[in-house]
């Protein structure tokens, strides 16, 4: 969704669908097995360049 593109981190928890969410860019969090994330550490800098 366009209004979510400026977020630096998306988190989700899943018991058994890690493979599914990895297809969409989510990566497992180390030592936190049910949690996955999409992390874009420079998204604020990229957004500033666009504006």
Q: Which mean pLDDT values do the consecutive 10-residue runs of the chain (51 residues) have?
A: 86 96 95 93 73 54
The predicted pLDDT at position 34 comes to 94
**What are the Cα distances from residue 10, in Å, to 25, 29, 51?**
10, 12, 22
Predicted local distance difference test score (pLDDT) of residue 10 = 92
> Contact, 29 vs 35, CB < 8 A?
yes
Instruction: Specify the pLDDT at position 51.
Output: 54
Q: What's this model's pTM, rounded to 2 decimal places? A: 0.72
Give domain limits for the chain: 2-50
Q: What is the pLDDT of residue 37?
A: 96
- pLDDT for the residue 46: 67
């Amino acid at each position: 969704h366009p209004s979510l593109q400026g977020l630096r981190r998306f988190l989700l928890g899943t018991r058994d669908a890690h493979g599914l969410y990895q297809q969409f860019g989510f990566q497992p969090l180390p030592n936190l097995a049910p949690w996955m994330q999409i992390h874009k550490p420079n998204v604020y800098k990229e957004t500033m360049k666009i504006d």
